[in-house]
Each structure stands twice: as structure tokens, then as C-alpha cells.
Structure 1
Amino acid sequence: MPVIYTDLQDKIVLLTGVGQAPQEYDKEIWGNGAATAKVLAQSGAKIFGCDLDMASAELTKKCVEEQVKDARIDVVKADVTKRDEVVELVKKCMDTHGRIDVLVCNVGKSAPGGPAEMSDEVWQSQLDVNLTSVFLCTGQVLPIMEKQKSGSVILLSSVAGKGYAGRSHVGYSTTKSAIVSMAQTIGCRYAPLGIRANAVVPGLIHTPLVARLAFEYNNGDYEGIVKKRASEVPMGRMGTAFEVAQAIAFLSSQEASSYVTGSQLIVDGGITAAVHN
């Protein structure tokens, strides 16, 4: 059962990357954005979500409304790497709800390669999707929260940003490391104004995208890649998107995390501790 945070009732959550990839292998496996929408809706929050893929956003809306009684979720299409679209996204949310209490920056993309192999175009794409999107969204939302004198900003990082773990994805690891630094900077800068900012740092999470990894890196062997990834975790399993979402819900709640800012909440089954000890 999810933890219900009563102070999230009627709070407005702007959530990027809300889309749910098709659940090809298991209907119970959700992505981080969709799971976050569901978990926050279960606490009574109103979700205003965006995704570049409107079909995936509509799938999340459908799943949440089917499974959460009286869920309130709106979804729109937006490319959060483009300033004009982020400005319009925030305007739509404000026109609908008049405030933004929680911002969750969830979009992310990973591409293989190191500095010698990665093209300039792929490198720039990694920066845009993983980092510039956060810069643009926080830049538009923080002034709103400042006027409100309250708000929680939650940025999705990754254990890939904590150190090298055998995968050369230099763009992804670099940007995810930078996101932690952004959370620290924003958290300290805006602390006197009643605004908190933190990073959630997931490890190996079992989402619908694992199926894509199977075809890209494991000759289509889905069960094989699930077993392989689980073997890399001290707990012996991948995490679920709902475990990530519960961390996000905790940081969204003022009652639960009022003294937490500029911090990082690692949700990785022990990977980081095992690698760095």
C-alpha cells in the first residue's frame, strides 16, 4: 500500500516525462513518470503532466484514472528542451490551476559512448534532454514558487552520475551528476524563501524500457537482461518505479520532508554503497 501524505491533497504537481511506455511484458510494470503521477494522485494531488509523446501521456492518464478514485490529471504535449514550449507549458498549468506546488523534472535519455566515440550531435542531445530541460523548467517555475513563498522542486538524477559502473555513457553520467549539483544550488539559494529542492537518484529500475534494452544490448533476451541487472544489485532485484515514486512523494510533502533541501535521496538497492565502499 502506498504511503498517503495528507498535506498533498489538492496540491498542484507539474510533472515532466509523464508518459508511460507500452507494458509489453507485464501490465504491473510502470515507468517512473507514470508511477509518480499515480502515487501523488493517491495522496490527492492534482497532476499536470507533459510528454513529447502524447500517446504515452494519454496512456498514463488512462491508467491513473482507472486505478485511482477521483484522480485529477491533465496531460499535454511539450518538448521541455525548448524554451518557448516550457514557457507555454507553465502558462497552461497556471491557467488551469493558478499555482504550482511541486515541480518534478523527470525526462531523461541515455546514449552509449565516451568522448572519443560520441558525436557532437549525440552529446548535445544528451545535454539538452537531461540538463537543459531542468534548467528551463526550474527557471520558469521558481519565480512562481517565490511569489507563493513555498514549493518543492524534485530533480531525477541517476546512480550513473555517482561514478563509473562499467557502462560508458558519458553524456548521461555527466548530466545526471550535474543534476545533483543543481539540486544543491537551488536548494540552498531558495531555502530562505520557503522553497526546497532535492534530487532523487534511482538505480536499476524495472520499467517498460527494460524491454528495449533487451533488444539493444542482449539479443532480445528480456528474461536474461532482467536477471543480469538484478544480479548487479545487493538486494538481488531491480527496483520498481513505485519505489522511486514513493521517494518523490516523500520529498513533495512538506510535512514529511520540511527540513530536507539541497539533498539527494538514493533509491538503488545498495548499488552506490557497494561500489563506493
Structure 2
Amino acid sequence: MLRLDKKVALITGLGQTSDDGWGIGAAIAMKLSQQGAIIFGGNRTLTAAERTKARIEAEGGICHVQQTEVTDSASVKALVDGCVERHGRIDILVNNVGKSEPGCPATMEEEIWDQQMDINLKSVYLTSHYVLPIMEKQESGGVVANVSSIAGLRYIGKPQVAYSAAKAAIMQFTKATAVIYADRRVRLNTVVPGLIYTPYTRELVKRYAPGGDQDTYMKMRDEQVPMEKMGDAWDVANATLFLVADESRYITGQELVVDGGITSSTERV
């Protein structure tokens, strides 16, 4: 089940800054590769993307990567063109790029707001802009999985209004586009992670931990989850795999929340 043999998966944000742990994009790329997909990745830092590529190839997978600025139309087009030139098709698109900056409307600089909209939301538009016309021309169509966040569903204890707004917009962008493309053999769904422990999480701790007390902050994050622990990148990767596999062929325009119960709880924020 959930095999992706010979399918071409274009994934953004699959880089790893170190070999310590797994980020969401890298785990998704590895999981899809393990199920037989051919990976073509775009990442802002090529060195980080090549680290994921090496991990995939070490397990016998096929992965090519390209330096990509996902907020730049020409760079995204070059990524899509590169994938089609090498493989002739795109069966799966995974938009994983995201970044959070703190701030409320009264304190956030306009420049930060614009950057947050670009990296979290415009990036999804740009890849969709270039990939969807390719998918609808393919006899087998295609499938898109956009990675959002529960910050787009509820307040989770951090003042990050631009990030929250962009992640909420991703879900509606996906839902509306899924309806438009439902009769064109193209499915779109959203994966909605909750509190996930990744290398990036460790960097966020340095920014948000009161007084720099990282251990206490991490413990607090675990306690926010009804299941009493954060998830990891593989939890998100497994959910993504389900949504892009043929077994979910009748699912489109939906959100799959991977959060250990946070958004179903009224006791934690």
C-alpha cells in the first residue's frame, strides 16, 4: 500500500542544515523516496538540499536538487522547468517552505509582514502557478500537498499574526483550488502539523524561550499537547504520504491535522 513507484515528486524546502535529526521537508522527501518516488527538490540553500539528497541516495533512492528562491517567480519556474526537463512530468507537488516571525499588527514592521506573506503564501501560489498546468495535461493528473500549521486554525501561545494569517490562507487557497481542479484529475489537500520537534524547533526555542530557558520551554510545548509530547517530522511525512498516494484518490480539498489533539482541546493553547 501507499506505493509511489516511478512517480516524480517535486518538493520545496527539503534541506537539512545538519545530519542531526530530521526536518519536515527532508522527512517527506525521504518517506516518498522509500515508497518509490523520484525526488526533485528546490531549496534556498543548495548545501542543505544536497545533504538530504545524500541521505536519500544512501538508501538507494533517486534525488536531484536545485537552488531555488520560492518567492521569486523566475526561480520557481526554473525549478519546475528543471524537473520536467529531467523527468518529463510532475506527479506530486509538496509545498513545505515556511518561516515564523513574532509580532502583532501594532508591533510588526511592514517589511516583516510582507516577507511572511511571501515565504509562507506566495511560494505556494508560485509553484501552483507553474505546476498545475502541467498536471492537468497529464493523463494521470497529479496531486498537491501543501504544508500549513495549526497556527492557521487557532492561537497556539505565540504572537505570530502574519504566520498565522498566511497559514490559514494556505488552507483556503488549497480548498478553493481543489474545487476548481476537481474535474481535471488534480487533487489538492493540506497537511496541518501541530507542535513538531525538528532542528528548526530548536532554533525557534532560542527566539521564544522566556529568559532563554530552553529546557523549560520545550517541556511546556510537550505539556500543551493532549498526547503529552510533540510530534516529529515522520508524523507529518506519513500523513503527507497518505494524501499523495493513490489510496486517497477520492480525497481533495481537505485538511489532515497532525497535532496530538491540540485543536480538539479547549484546555490548552
TM-score (norm 1): 0.93
Structure 1 residue 168 displacement after superposition: 1.3
AA at the equivalent of 1:18: L
- Equivalent in the alignment of 2:78: 88
Match of residue 186 from structure 1: 177
* 2:39 equivalent to 1:44: no
Structure 1 residue 98, shift from structure 2 partner: 0.3
Q: Distance in 1 between matches of 2:225 and 2:151?
A: 14
Query: Hey, what's the Cα distance between the residues in 2 that align with 1:113 and 1:275?
Result: 24
Q: Residue 220 of structure 1: CA displacement?
A: 4.7
Report the equivalent of 2:56.
Answer: 64
Contact 1:210 1:222 in 2 (8 A): no
* Distance in 2 of aligned mates of 1:220 and 1:15: 34
CA–CA separation in structure 2 for the residues paired with 1:226 and 1:64: 29
Cα shift at 1:221: 4.0
The answer to whether 1:137 aligns with 2:127 is: yes
Q: Which of the residues 147, 164, 167 maps onto 1:173?
A: 164
Candidates 204, 213, 234, aligned match of 2:195: 204
- Identity fraction in percent: 45
* Residues 242-251 or 218-227, more deviating: 218-227
Aligned to 1:249: 241
Please give the alpha-carbon distance, in whole angstroms, between the structure 1 residues aligned to 2:98 and 2:205: 19
Q: State the distance in 1 between where 2:174 and 2:94 align.
A: 12
1:233 alignment counterpart: 225
Native 8 Å contact 1:202 1:244 kept in 2: yes
Alpha-carbon offset, residue 247 of structure 1:
0.7
Which secondary structure state, in structure 1, belongs to the residue aligned with residue 94 of structure 2? strand
**Equivalences, count:** 266
In 2, Cα distance between equivalents of 1:63 and 1:103: 20
1:32 counterpart (14, 24, 32) = 24
TM-score by length of 2: 0.95
Letter in 2 for 1:215: K
- Offset at residue 227 of structure 1 (A): 1.3
* CA–CA separation in structure 1 for the residues paired with 2:30 and 2:214: 26
For 2:155, what is the secondary structure of its paired residue?
coil
Match of 2:250 in 1: 259
**Residue of 75, 86, 95 corresponding to 2:65:** 75
Does the 8 Å contact 1:9/1:44 carry over to 2?
A: yes
> Secondary structure of the equivalent of 1:167?
coil
- Residue 116 of structure 1: which of 97, 106, 112 is its match? 106
Q: Describe the SS at the equivalent of 1:197.
A: strand
Q: Distance between the aligned counterparts of 2:267 and 2:255, measured in 1?
A: 16
**What is the letter of the counterpart of residue 82 of structure 2?**
K
* Structure 1 residue matching 2:39: 3-state secondary structure: strand
RMSD: 1.5
**What CA deviation, in whole Å up to 9, does each residue of 1:207-239 have, x standing for no partner?**
001221222222554433321110100000000
Question: Which runs of 5 or more residues in structure 1 are unaligned?
Answer: none
Aligned with 1:104 (options 80, 90, 94): 94
